[in-house]
Amino acid sequence: MYQVKSARLLAENVYETWIEAPHVSRNAEAGQFLVLRIDDEGERIPLTISGVDGDCVRVIFMAVGTTTEKLAALKTGDAIHDVVGPLGQPSEVHHFGSCVLVGGGVGIACLPIIAKALKESGNSVIGIIGARNKDLLILEDEMKEACDELIITTDDGSYGIKGFAAGPLKEICESRPPDAVWVIGPAIMMKVTSGVTKPFGIKTFVSLNPVMVDGTGMCGSCRVVVNGETKFACVDGPEFDAHQVDFDLLMSRQRFYHPEEKESREHHHSGGCGCGGHH
């Protein structure tokens, strides 16, 4: 069992949980993820490692399904049944020169750990973070500390620049082209935003989040097509060259289990969650 060291609400439906998992924290690198199971009847879900502090690792997630809702209900001192990791390939961190990190919504959670690693490798780092509105923006202070410059966008203009992150990224590419770019967020956001860097020939990474089950490449549920070849996001990724990813296929696969997820949520909300008296 793995103890929850702290848990809090960051924004509407977005939660931060620190979990005591020394075997993960000792070996975790930027870009990797873990798989957890809340109880012995629960499903396994992958979550990006968003931070490391001593024996603890941080995950930040949106409560959108049965398991993430259960995870969101856990408080300090509660326990998680299984935590496996770190899994996946680390981010490609070395001395590029200048880097831009773009995060949308909960995807922002992946950026601080990458920004810190890039800075330690001697890069200058510009962060661009965006959300639908000011209230949904997360980790602003942490990103300010981790980056040399931080640009904020909101869809409705309630904070920072009105519009999407693709706008400031295009301006940077035109005026001071970076050597590498990371774009992390919803699939459609990654598709559109990474398209900005393609005409400039700038190396661009995206972190893919298809359905995963075992996290070891055995189940095949996380198949993605990159440069015309089938890859497994859990072992070959989760980061890939953005300009080689088949985003349309990725988005269709993400919708594949929606009926089952809906049924599971309805069962959970009706009281059939199978989680005993814990919640």
pLDDT, tens digit, for every residue of 164-179?
999 999 999 999 999 9
Q: Where in the chain is the domain with CATH 2.40.30.10?
A: 2-88+258-269
Unique residue bearing structure tokens 């001593």: 54
Identify the architecture of domain 98-207 in CATH: 3-Layer(aba) Sandwich (3.40)
In the numeric block, which tokens belong to residue 126? 């510009």
Q: In this structure, what token pair is assigned to residue 27?
A: 């070996």
Of residues 168 and 256, more confidently modeled: 168
Average predicted confidence (pLDDT) for the chain:
87
Strands laid side by side in the 239-241 sheet: 161-162, 149-154, 124-131, 98-104, 180-184, 203-207, 239-241
Residue 264 pLDDT = 40
Q: What does the pLDDT read at residue 276?
A: 38
CA 240, 126, 30 angle in degrees (round to 5)?
45
Is 110 known as a binding-site position? no
173 in a labelled binding site: no
Report which of residues 213 and 177 the model is more confident about.
177
Tokens of 217: 């490449």
Q: What is the pLDDT of residue 194?
A: 95
Whose CA is closest to 58, among 120, 136, 138?
138
Q: Is 222 annotated as a binding residue?
A: yes
Joined together, the tokens standing for residue 56 give 């603890």
| Contact present, 35 and 113 (Cβ < 8 Å) | no
Delimit the CATH 3.40.50.80 region(s) of the chain: 98-207
Amino acid occupying residue 257: Y
The closest of 212, 194, 195 to 254, measured between CA atoms, is: 212
Structure tokens at 104: 């949308």
Residue reference for tokens 């001071």 = 176
As its CATH architecture, domain 2-88+258-269 has Beta Barrel (2.40)
pLDDT, tens digit, 9 for 90 and up, residues 43-88: 888 899 999 999 999 999 999 888 899 999 999 999 999 999 999 9
Residue 137's SS3 state is coil
pLDDT at position 262, please? Answer: 41
* Amino acid letter for position 145: E
d(CA 68, CA 157): 29
pLDDT of residue 20: 98
**pLDDT-derived band at 226, boundaries 50, 70, 90:** confident
Residues 116-130 have pLDDT tens digits of 999 999 999 999 999
Token couple for 258 = 């929606």
Task: With H, G, I as helix, E, B as strand and everything else as coil, classify residue 154.
Answer: strand
